[in-house]
Amino acid sequence: MDISFDKYSLIIDGKRIFIKSGAFHYFRTPGEKMARDRFLKMKAGGYNTVDMYFNWNYHSEAPGQYDFSGIKDVRKVLKAAKDAGLFVIARPGPFINAEVNAGGLPFWLLRMEDVIPRNRIGTEYKYSPKYMEYIGEWYDNIIPIIREFDNVILFQIENEYATDTMEEDYMRQLYNMARERGITCPIFHNDAYFAGLWADCVDIYALDLYPYINPNQNWKQDNFCFDTLDNVEEIFRGAKEDSPPFIAEMQSGWFDKWDGMGYKHIRSALGDEHINIMTKTALSQGVTLFNHYMAVGGTNWADLACDEVYTSYEFAAPIDEFGVMQSNFFKSKELNYFLDSFDFTKTEPKDFDFFQENIYAKLRADLTNDCDWLFLRNMNSQHSEVKLPNGKNVLLRPYEMKICPINLRLKGCEIEFSDAEIFARLQNNNEEVLFILSDKNSNIYLKDGKAISADKKDFERLSFETDGKKTEFVFLTKQMADKTWLLGDKIIFNADYVLPNGAIALEKNQEVAYFDLKHKFSKKNFIVNEFKSIKKPELLKISAVDFCSPEIDADYDYSRWSKIAGKTDSLSCELYDEFVWYKAKIPQTLTEITLSARHLFAIYINGKEVLNRNSYKIEKLQEVPETISIPLDKKVLTKKVNELTILVQNLGFDKGFSGDTNNPRGLVEFETTPETEIEFYTCQKLAPERTKNYKSENPYLTKLTVNFDCELKENVFLAKYISFEDFNCRRATIFLNGVKIGRYIKRTHVQDKFYLINEFLKPHNTLDIIVWEKDRNIKSSWGFKSDIKNVKILLATFKMYQIFK
Amino acid sequence: MAIVPEFLIKRIYQKGSLQKFETGARLVLKNVLGPGLISGFNYVKINDVIFEPQDVRFITNGREYTGVDVNEENPIVFRLGQFGTLIMSGKDCICDGVNTIEIEAMNPEAGKVRLSVQDTAAEPA
């Protein structure tokens, strides 16, 4: 594939292509089957490109060891993208951020001597040859796979990188390393500061834009939040005049944090208006490559998450974590279909003398279609009537943005001006049909003086003919447009979704209509007989309750654990799992222990809890370290030699954007009073993950086992979850068929529903839920065991579609 | 510490704007980085003289704020391209020749943002 570019757009095999991309994390949506499902849905929504980070850490457990097998087989993911007809933007880092553990840098790398991750300490540049050597190893492994796919059109080096002095050696070397390994497509970097950074080191300058990053704020009130986007063309031209405007990450959602407000809030706060404004404003600024970040939400299963984020990485994305299309998907589909209708790859800004308070207006000359497009946005909280210099008035709803054609020549008529928006277009040489969104406030003004109200019902039609060529307008309400799907030269109405392979997905019995220029309208009835309705949530029966922390029991044999020689933190001990155990003998003479541990931890002495604490705290984007002292006396230290057990839950390493990826985790500090040398032994993972002999006497960690069946059919898409809405335990780690799929922390209130990731679902399933409880909530072992059998865990189906192929 | 490169932060200071003013100094800032909020002024240091939030005023978009009024609950909107005048009072701080200016402010997303520049003081208008 020949890929070039000019100041307007990317040119692929000699043809200008508008890049409508969406971000997808294969590691958060594991397995080929799920990737295929999401890619087909993206394609159905009009995206032509998928953006993929390649997560170094996900593939490499040790230097020189790389795993691209099973669900980590990125070849299968790339093949799925190709089969879905999507181009790929490849972003293999080495650093990716993405709110993944350590920003995607392998854990082993973080502890290497002479390695300075990202060649910087804080904001100071510090070149590390050893770091570059290991990047070479990663590139040697990932680039040959990427190169196998000719649909990879862009390649990113590093991510959101900056230093105080901006030495270029690192970026230039990364560029050369990619080229030396055979990358031939344009190379870019993603500038988080929209300041033209690294523009001279890459082929195409790109930036990321997130106007809404604080869920406590209301972007609708802070209407200045689009200031940068409203001037982005100037930034692009200033940075690199001859490369096309490329927003490598354009906000289509946002991530939530442990101390956040939940995805329901973020989705509702963004609404559909935000993605509409983002995308249309980008078009108004001449952007011809955009990447909705994210297009597809995912799950932080296993230990994928950095410390900031919880299990769900739903991101309020157009396709949610469950693979279900949400309302911003339908808005983005409208925009993508519009961009398929008119070639927007070569436009220029045009003077437009206009001012109205809180109204953004931008005019562009379309050099391909020989018309103009007027972009209008209302940032007022009320309807606003925009009085245009051409005498036309446009009524915009609050936070609405429209693209209005001016002097648009069609086959059978010419639009002088329209504030009714075009949804899609089908055409051949002599004939075309424009599908137009019905809107009682909008009109289409034709050149011959005719004004047509867009206040129309579904499928109302108007025809025009000039010189034997025909144009037909077919009106669609927003509701119908959401259920309307472009499929090549065909359009299908009234389906929940239609995949590019022609498969139709329906939730209920439906009459589906088809239209193409040759056969016009036809209809077909589909009977959804597999399921009448989604079953109500089902209360799961707990089949077994087992205490499962033998490590805490007195006289537990830990002689085979690793003895710690120096520092106790998890990097120093090469223990990267979420759970790390420490055991030691301590004398009765101690009066105090002082420690710092990240993030959640508990201390047990002689099998009895002394402290159970959540020390996770982030302020101003920085971790707030906590050191805590615990007084000891003979009531606690009952023996001459006492057994100390510490369990630390590491919620993830820093993602490395504003902090350091190698900030220590686990037991970071440990001191005693009086000062005494303590010999620690350590191991990682919870006992049921390590051994079959996990049963214990103490009740601090308890494994609940639940079995359930799931009917999996080829022609049914389903999304299932378990709900902890009425769960009364503090913390839990959830395993589906042995795979860790979630972390529950009651206090945070951010997540109580956990996606049962389709890749790991089987016809017969076992859920293991390991509860970590505080001593004060356990009155007696017997009573606790009896009570916990009655906790409520619900199994529910979020969505179910029958697929007709 | 947030990773906003120093050279970018320096662009906020309007070169040549430092002036002696009453018993203190004033200077001009322009937001050239992106739309944002100021959620606190921790301190301003000119040469060796430190001005605490109560001695700092910020005038922007026709409104005047004192440093103590600005916090996470009451941030100042500082739009892209917007100017603001920072006034430090109560202490003589300007010297002949090159002055060292350090401003530490807070941003809800980036955390502490520290601007360090050097400039000669202009004659008061």
Interval B70-117: pLDDT, tens: 998 899 999 888 999 999 999 999 999 999 999 999 987 777 889 999
Kind of pairing, strands A753-755 and A739-745? unpaired
Chain B residues touching residue A217 (CB < 8 angstroms): 108
Which residue among A195, A214, A622 sits closest to B108, beta carbon to beta carbon?
Answer: A214
CA A435 to chain centre: 32
CB contact under 8 Å between B4 and A162, yes or no, is yes
Judged by CB atoms closer than 8 Å, whether chains meet at A621 and B77 is answered as: no
The residue of B1, B3, B112 whose CB has the most chain A CBs within 10 angstroms, and thus the best one to mutate to test that interface, is: B3
Q: What is the pLDDT of residue A533?
A: 55
| Domain range A347-526, its CATH number among 1.10.3470, 2.102.20, 2.20.28, 3.10.310 | 2.102.20
Minimum CA–CA partner of A624 in chain B: B1
Averaged pLDDT score across all residues of chain A = 96
% helix / strand / coil in chain A, to the nearest 5?
20, 35, 45
* Of the partner residues A122, A194, A622, the one whose CB lies closest to the CB of residue B111: A622
Closest residue in A to B11 (Cα–Cα): A195
How close does chain A come to B9, measured CA to CA in Å? 10
Residues of chain B in contact with residue A231, where contact means CB-CB under 8 angstroms, are: 80
Which residues, in sequence order, are CB contacts of B87 under 8 Å at separation 6+?
B21, B24, B25, B26, B56, B57, B58, B59
Give the pLDDT band of residue A532 (cuts 50, 70, 90): low
A657/B34 Cβ within 8 A? no
Res A662: pLDDT:
84
What is the structure's pLDDT at A340?
A: 98
| pLDDT higher than 80, residue A529 | no
DSSP 8-state symbol, A557: -
Res. A54: pLDDT tops 90: yes
Inter-chain Cβ pairs, chain A and chain B, closer than 8 A: 65
Which residue would you say has higher pLDDT here, A530 or A749?
A749
Instruction: Give me the half-sphere count of Cα atoms (radius 13 Å) on the Cβ side of residue B4.
Output: 23
* 3-state SS class at A709: strand
A383 CA: distance to closest CA in chain B (Å)? 24
Is A225 at the interface with chain B, CB within 8 A? yes
Pick B6-120's CATH classification: 1.10.10, 3.90.320, 2.60.40, 2.30.130: 2.60.40
Which of B2, B3, B34 is closest, CB to CB, to A227?
B34
Asked if the Cβ–Cβ distance from A622 to B108 is below 8 Å, we say no
Mean pLDDT across A587-613: 97
CA distance A303 to chain B (A): 25
Of B3, B33, B80, the CB nearest to A657: B3
User: DSSP letters along A16-64, please?
Assistant: EE-EEEEEE-TTTS-SHHHHHHHHHHHHHTT--EEEEE--HHHH-SBTT
For the stretch A16-32, pLDDT in tens is: 999 999 999 999 999 99
Closest partner CB to A621 (pick from B2, B77, B80): B2
Q: Mean pLDDT throughout A665-672? A: 97
Give the Cα separation of A106 and A55 in Å (integer). 9
Asked whether residue B125 carries a pLDDT value surpassing 90, the answer given is: no
Q: How far is CA A343 from CA A11, A207, A362, in A?
A: 13, 23, 18
* Residue A661, pLDDT score: 86
Q: Where are the domains of chain B?
A: 6-120
Contacts of A620 in chain B (CB under 8 A): 2, 106, 111-112
- Contact state of B5 with A162 under an 8 Å Cβ cutoff: yes
Rounded distance between C-alpha atoms, residue A161 and residue A448, angstroms = 55
Task: Calculate ∠ Cα A276-A277-A282, nearest 5°.
Answer: 105
A628 min Cα distance to partner chain B (Å) = 24
Q: What is the arithmetic mean of pLDDT over A193-211?
A: 96
Task: Say whether B7 and A165 touch across the interface (CB within 8 A).
Answer: yes
Q: What is the pLDDT of residues A368-407, one digit of tens each?
A: 999 999 999 999 999 999 999 999 999 999 999 999 999 9
Asked whether A263 and A312 are in contact (CB, 8 A), the reply is yes
Distance between CA A5 and CA A535 in Å, rounded? 52
CATH topology of domain A550-685: Jelly Rolls (2.60.120)
Residues 598-627, chain A: which have Cβ within 8 Å of B?
A: 619-622
What tokens appear for A135 in the block?
Answer: 């990047």
Q: Which residue from A164, A213, A622 is facing B109, i.e. has the nearest CB?
A: A213
Residue A629, strand partner residues: A594
A 652-671 residues with CB below 8 A of B? 657-658
Report whether pLDDT(B2) > 60: no
Lowest model confidence (mean pLDDT) among A55-69, A160-174, A641-655, A772-786: A772-786
Which pLDDT belongs to residue B1? Answer: 45
Q: Of the candidates B6, B79, B110, which has its C-beta nearest A621's C-beta? A: B110
Q: How confident is the model at residue A171 (pLDDT cuts 50, 70, 90)?
A: very high
Of B7, B80, B108, the CB nearest to A227: B80
CB pair distance less than 8 Å for B5 and A231? no
Q: Check CB contact under 8 Å for A123 and B1.
A: yes
Residues of B in contact with A233 (CB under 8 A): none
Q: Is residue A214 within 8 angstroms of chain B, CB to CB?
A: yes
Q: Where are the domains of chain A?
A: 3-325, 347-526, 538-546+698-804, 550-685
Q: Identical fold at A347-526 and A550-685?
A: no
Interface touch A621/B6, C-beta < 8 Å: no
B37 within 8 A of B75, measured Cβ to Cβ: yes
Determine the Cα–Cα distance for residues A363 and A348; give it in Å rounded to an integer: 9
Chain B residues in contact with A222 (beta carbon < 8 A): 35, 77
In sequence order, what are the residues at sequence separation of 6 or more whose Cβ sits closer than 8 angstroms to the Cβ of residue A766?
A705, A706, A707, A736, A737, A738
pLDDT at A621 over 80: no
CB-CB neighbours of A280 under 10 Å? 23
Instruction: Give tens-digit pLDDT for A121-132.
Output: 988 999 999 999
Question: Which residues of B touch chain A, with CB atoms under 8 Å apart?
Answer: 1-8, 33-35, 77, 79-81, 106, 108-112
CB-based contact (8 Å) between A211 and chain B? Answer: yes
CB contact under 8 A, A195 and B8: yes
* Main-chain phi, psi angles of A230, to 5 degrees: -65, -15
Gap from B42 CA to chain A (nearest CA, Å):
14
State both tokens at B104: 């530490």
| Residues A731, A744: Cα–Cα separation, whole Å | 5
pTM: 0.95
Cβ-nearest to A123 among B3, B106, B111: B3
Indicate yes or no: CB of B33 within 8 angstroms of CB of A193. Answer: yes
Q: In chain A, positions 471-530, which contact chain B (CB-CB < 8 Å)?
A: none
| Residue B112: per-residue pLDDT | 83
Q: Which residues of A touch B1 (CB under 8 A)?
A: 122-123, 622, 658
Q: Which of A11-15, A342-346, A605-609, A618-622 has the lowest mean pLDDT?
A: A618-622
Task: List, as one string, the DSSP characters of A384-453.
Answer: EEEE-TTS-EEEE-TT-EEEEEEEEE-SS-EEEEE-SPEEEEEE-SSEEEEEEE--TT-EEEETTS-EEE
The pLDDT tens digits of the residues spanning A260-316 come to 999 999 999 999 999 999 999 999 999 999 999 999 999 999 999 999 999 999 999
Q: Do B77 and A222 touch (CB under 8 A)?
A: yes
Superfamily of domain A3-325: Glycosidases (3.20.20.80)
**Least CB-CB distance to B5: which of A163, A225, A228?**
A163
Q: Does A121 touch chain B (CB under 8 A)?
A: no
Start-to-end CA distance of chain A, whole Å, equals: 32
Whether residue A800 has pLDDT greater than 60:
yes
Q: For residue A162, what is the nearest residue in chain B, using CA coordinates?
A: B5
Mean pLDDT of A545-570: 96
CA A673/CA A590 separation, integer angstroms: 6
Across the range A481-502, mean pLDDT stands at 97
Q: Do A622 and B1 touch (CB under 8 A)?
A: yes
Q: What's the token pair of residue A377?
A: 């946005």
Rounded to the nearest angstrom, the gap between the alpha carbon of residue A521 and the centroid of all alpha carbons in its chain is: 38
| CATH number 2.60.120.260 given to A538-546+698-804 | yes
CB contact under 8 A, A162 and B79: no
Mean pLDDT computed over A150-167: 95
For residue A318, what are its two tokens?
A: 């157009």
Q: Which residue of B has its CA nearest to A619?
A: B111
pLDDT of residue A60: 98
* pLDDT value at residue A530: 61
Measured CA to CA, the distance from residue A608 to residue A636 in angstroms comes to 9
Select the residue of A163, A195, A620 nearest B111 (Cβ to Cβ).
A620
Please state, in angstroms and rounded to a whole number, the distance separating the CA atoms of residues A120 and A132: 12
Short-list B42, B107, B35, CA closest to A658 = B107
B79: nearest CB among A165, A227, A622: A227
pLDDT (tens digit, 9 = 90+) per residue, A64-110? 999 999 999 999 999 999 999 999 999 999 999 999 999 999 999 99
Give the pLDDT confidence score for residue A214 in this predicted structure.
Answer: 84
Amino acid letter at B57? R
